[in-house]
A and B are shown apart, each in its own frame.
Chain A
Amino acid sequence: MPKPDRDPAFERRLDELRQEAKTQGRVEGRGVDIAGSPLPIAAVKNGPNGHGPNHRGKPGLERAVQSGADKPGYFGMPVIKPPVWTWEIPIYFFIGGLCGMAAVIALAATVFGQPEIVRAAMWIAAFGGVASPVLLIMDLGRPLLFFNMLRVFKLRSAMSMGVYILTPYGMTAIPGAMAVELAHWHLLPDGLWSTLLHLVAVTLTFAAGLSGMLLATYTGVLIGATAVPAWNRHRSLLPLHFGTAGMGSAVGLLGLFGYTLRPLAAIFWVTVAVETILWLWLMFRRHGPADRALHEGLSGHLLMPAEILSGPLSLVLVSVGWMQAAAVAFMLGSLLSRFGWVQAGKQSSKDPEAVFASQR
């Protein structure tokens, strides 16, 4: 790392810069923009900020750049950096939730002997095992260095923990679905081999279910434990919200595929009810500037309709017995809501008042 070859010349350059600053009062250089500006004091008007003569009766000053005076913080500039994530991440949140929870359904269906459900749910889970890492890697600034994520294991980093949830999930859901499928076709003659295959299928389904339930909820921690005000204000709500949406979407999708058993319908009822309560909570427990991004601007316009789709609207639809329509509304709402939450994070981090309200 040291660049000693540049030292002597560069040290002279630094002395030069210091000298220039001393004599000229300003220094210019590549990429450093000084090139003049409106003067800080534009014109001599009547008193400070144009409010009439100052206390000594002398003509006062008017601030040229009024922009700074009435904006929060430093000229209203963002205090923290907005998340750099693009569309891949909200879709990843949605797919991770849906597919992770599908593996949980597969687990429960395995325990209580519903092989058809296990099969369908494991296919959904396996799809998530493929799609999630692809989306995650696509969003990296340097996708080829993805495996550097496996260099360290950090309990204090939700991103690192996510990698250690997603990796075992993919490594069990994908082969798990294959094993379930093979077992389903009875390709192996009865006996030791088929018993073994069955055992492998059950083990992998269990492992996928256990990692899947965390895959569906850790994403809430991922954005909850950040400096972004609208997110960290809801650090406890987010994992519950994302997990519930994942579970509802999983049973909703199974329903659309024609699996409409009573246990699935019951689970759907519960998730719709929880989502409705969370929507009410977000509507009525507002936190002023800190989470106003959830209600205002682009993110508000995206998030609140989305929450209504998967909350109250789905509740109405299931109540009148339109299960398929409810499933579509719920899944659409969940997907839009993930976009809404990411957008709310961007909006909220660009809002200095939100940051000051949450960090004081």
Chain B
Amino acid sequence: MIGEGILSTNQRKHTYVRDQRTVGFYTDPTLCIGCKACEVACKEWNDVPDDGFRWSGNSYDHTDALGASTWRHVLFIEQDQPRGRQLAGPMSGDLLSDLTEHEDPFRWLFLSDVCKHCEEAGCLEACPTGSIIRTETQTVLVQNDICNGCGYCVVGCPFGVIDRRKKPLKDAGGAFKCTFCYDRQASGLVPACAKACPTESILFGPLDELRPHAAKRVEQLKAAGYPDAQNYDPVDTSVKGIHAFFLILGNPEAYGLPAKPEIPTIHLKASWTSAFLTAFGALGLSLLAFAFLK
């Protein structure tokens, strides 16, 4: 069902919410053309405010990073490695000689980054208001009428996705991130970004279909001469995998992705132990001091 043109899960209506089926995104930079249709679609559907322009100087990327008012972000990565038939530099016009002679060790990759909808989500665990919930499709959703803007989810996310929106943008003070288009999904529609994607670089579908598809895709690319193709889905860390996962060429770090992301709750045990020992130590110290010194 995945990646089959008109029948693709990216275009047809679905009932995943009603069926409580776990959904995901598989984003493939080898298909991405860097058009930013996903960014535009996301902003328009979700009415995400314009957060201003900053000339970054980072390739074609002036969006900078994911944030409270940027829920899709197309990375433009420049690397000193050849990428198949991608041409760069001066060309003679004769395609064949360009391909054989002018190919330089340079590749320009695009990857549409998004909230990972973690299996174990740091933001969700951190939220003290219960504003962040897991939906029927196992995505992570911020209920904005409940969030009081404490900002604890911001330091709970190991991927730097969720952020508190600054004034003077609308709804400032609350935390925002990709909703996985929960509203659209609830009425059977495909997330706006995936639907607008012209190359199906953003592939939407049930996670149990996406994962085998992703494994096949990596094999395919390796056979086609991309030895450094791999899927980025940290299933063996405390995050236990992500529902919006990626194909990457090369190191995850180049995409701003930590190689082994950990959910911050793994630190709780050591930290609370220290807190209780200190607390009772302080109590004991005070009692002893007053007991023995007058």
- What residues of chain B lie closer than 8 Å to A35, measured between beta carbons? 62
Chain A 222-234, CB-CB to B under 8 Å as 1, else 0, gives: 1111111001100
Q: Is the pair B151, A141 in contact by a Cβ cutoff of 8 Å?
A: yes
Return the contact of B189 from the options A11, A54, A156 (Cβ within 8 A).
A11
The segment out of A24-32, A304-312, A321-329, A331-339 that lies at the interface is A24-32
Return the contact of A81 from the options B56, B90, B157, B260 (Cβ within 8 A).
B157
Q: How many residues of A contact B (CB 8 A)?
A: 130
Q: Is A176 positioned at the interface, with any CB of B under 8 Å from its CB?
A: no
Bound complex: CA A298 to CA B47 (Å): 38
Q: Is the pair B40, A17 in contact by a Cβ cutoff of 8 Å?
A: yes
- What residues of chain A lie closer than 8 Å to B265, measured between beta carbons? 156, 225
| Residue in A closest to B272 when the chains form the complex, CB atoms | A221
Bound complex: CA A143 to CA B173 (Å): 9
- What residues of chain B lie closer than 8 Å to A156, measured between beta carbons? 125, 265, 268
Q: Is the pair A61, B88 in contact by a Cβ cutoff of 8 Å?
A: yes
Q: Is the pair B268, A225 in contact by a Cβ cutoff of 8 Å?
A: yes
- What residues of chain A lie closer than 8 Å to B159, measured between beta carbons? 79-80
Interface residues in A145-174 (C-beta closer than 8 Å to B): 145-146, 148-149, 151-152, 154, 156-160, 162-163
Q: Is A285 positioned at the interface, with any CB of B under 8 Å from its CB?
A: no
The segment out of B20-28, B128-136, B203-211, B225-233 that lies at the interface is B128-136
Bound complex: CA A5 to CA B236 (Å): 43
Q: Is the pair B260, A54 in contact by a Cβ cutoff of 8 Å?
A: no
CB distance from A159 to the nearest CB of B (A): 4
The bracket for how many chain B residues form the interface is: 35 or more
| Residue in B closest to A10 when the chains form the complex, CB atoms | B45
Q: Is the pair A221, B271 in contact by a Cβ cutoff of 8 Å?
A: yes
Bound complex: CA A80 to CA B105 (Å): 30
The segment out of A70-78, A123-131, A192-200 that lies at the interface is A70-78
Q: Is A239 positioned at the interface, with any CB of B under 8 Å from its CB?
A: yes
Q: Is the pair B126, A84 in contact by a Cβ cutoff of 8 Å?
A: no
CB distance from B122 to the nearest CB of A (A): 6
Bound complex: CA A54 to CA B286 (Å): 73
Q: Is B15 positioned at the interface, with any CB of A under 8 Å from its CB?
A: no
Return the contact of B270 from the options A4, A77, A235, A263 (Cβ within 8 A).
A235
Q: Is the pair B150, A80 in contact by a Cβ cutoff of 8 Å?
A: no
Q: Is A142 positioned at the interface, with any CB of B under 8 Å from its CB?
A: yes
Bound complex: CA A267 to CA B256 (Å): 47
Q: Is B31 positioned at the interface, with any CB of A under 8 Å from its CB?
A: no
| Residue in A closest to B35 when the chains form the complex, CB atoms | A21
Q: Is B287 positioned at the interface, with any CB of A under 8 Å from its CB?
A: yes
| Residue in A closest to B186 when the chains form the complex, CB atoms | A2
Q: Is the pair B78, A240 in contact by a Cβ cutoff of 8 Å?
A: no
Bound complex: CA A170 to CA B24 (Å): 45
- What residues of chain A lie closer than 8 Å to B127, measured between beta carbons? 154, 157, 159
- What residues of chain A lie closer than 8 Å to B259, measured between beta carbons? 356, 359-360
| Residue in B closest to A144 when the chains form the complex, CB atoms | B148
Bound complex: CA A28 to CA B51 (Å): 15
Q: Is A14 positioned at the interface, with any CB of B under 8 Å from its CB?
A: yes
Q: Is the pair B158, A359 in contact by a Cβ cutoff of 8 Å?
A: yes
- What residues of chain B lie closer than 8 Å to A264, measured between beta carbons? 289
Residues of A at the B interface (CB closer than 8 Å) are 1-4, 7, 10-11, 13-14, 17-22, 24-38, 40-41, 44, 48-49, 54, 56, 58-61, 63, 65, 67-69, 72-75, 77-85, 101, 104-105, 107-109, 111-112, 114, 139-146, 148-149, 151-152, 154, 156-160, 162-163, 209-210, 213-214, 216-218, 220-228, 231-232, 235-240, 243-244, 246-247, 261-264, 266-267, 270, 345, 349, 352, 355-356, 359-360
Interchain Cβ contacts under 8 Å between A and B, 30 examples: A2-B184, A21-B197, A26-B34, A26-B35, A27-B37, A29-B43, A30-B43, A32-B36, A32-B63, A37-B57, A40-B88, A59-B89, A111-B290, A140-B173, A141-B148, A141-B164, A151-B129, A157-B128, A158-B268, A162-B128, A213-B282, A216-B279, A221-B275, A235-B271, A238-B271, A261-B293, A266-B289, A349-B155, A359-B259, A360-B259
Other than the given A141-B174, A356-B253, 9 more pairs (CB < 8 A) read A24-B35, A31-B48, A44-B90, A74-B75, A78-B65, A79-B160, A214-B276, A217-B274, A264-B289
